Amino acid sequence: MKIPIWQVDAFASAVFAGNPAAVCELESWLDDCVLQNIAAENNLSETAFLVRNATGFDLRWFTPTTEVELCGHATLAAAKVLFDRRGWPEPEIRFQTRRRGVLTVARQGGLFVMDFPALPVQPMKTPAGLAAALGAEPRQVLASTDDWLAVMDGEETVRNLTPDLAAVAQYGCRCLVPTARGISADFVSRAFAPRFGIPEDPVTGSAHCVLAPYWAGVLGKSDLRAFQVSKRGGEVFCRNAGERVMLGGEAAVYLEGMITA
């Protein structure tokens, strides 16, 4: 079995920044256990698997421990590979996903712009022990279907968090996302998903499906520049469009090769 593989640093203009994702191009779907083993072997926050269909590609994403229903940075990475390494001739790529329908990525200047669902949030009571788990008291906690936003008092607080990841893993959310107004960006964030084998995700596209509508409402503007202030860091250009969000970013190919399992 030979499978082409690329590793791409998404939401970054050059390698060694942003969020690394693996992209694997398949002729047809393999057993799920094989896909999961490949993702575990890659040991990146996500591996994207592609299979050609009549209008574009079927797309699935796996963390080192499980399949997820939405992933932004690995989708961006897949688009980078298809446009720049596979010579995709159209201005837009259609990705058919299992639970989120059709997602598209278009090339616009130097950015890859993803059309993703907007995920609304509702205020929730701050769970017991969350401040201790995060290492700081949130001003407010809001919940989407999968993720929790913890609104903090400023960018420096978000940057300096040293959460207790074992404690964070006890909560029921997919991803805990502390966020605050930014200094040089409209808003900043980080993302912790230890329940899914990801202690800290460097740049999280899917979290911006929640962050962009929230901050658009707070700041009263539709176009937002976001920065995820992880150690690697990454810039996300967001547009709130009602039931959809447009998430733009750059990407850089770090390696390409062949899996020979």
Place of tokens 């694997």: 24
How many helices (H) and strands (E) the chain has is answered by 6, 17
Cβ–Cβ < 8 Å for 234, 202: yes
Residue with tokens 């936003």: 149
Report whether 23 contacts 48 (CB < 8 A).
Answer: yes
Kindly report the number of other CB atoms within 10 A of residue 168's CB atom. 22
What's the gap between Cα 111 and its chain centre? 16
Burial of 110 (0-12, 13-18, 19+ CB in 10 A): exposed
Residue 156 known to be catalytic:
no
Catalytic residue among 25, 41, 46, 200: 46
Beta-carbon-side half-sphere exposure of residue 223 (alpha carbons within 13 Å): 1
Say if strands 19-26 and 47-52 run parallel, antiparallel, or are unpaired.
parallel
**Known catalytic residues?**
46
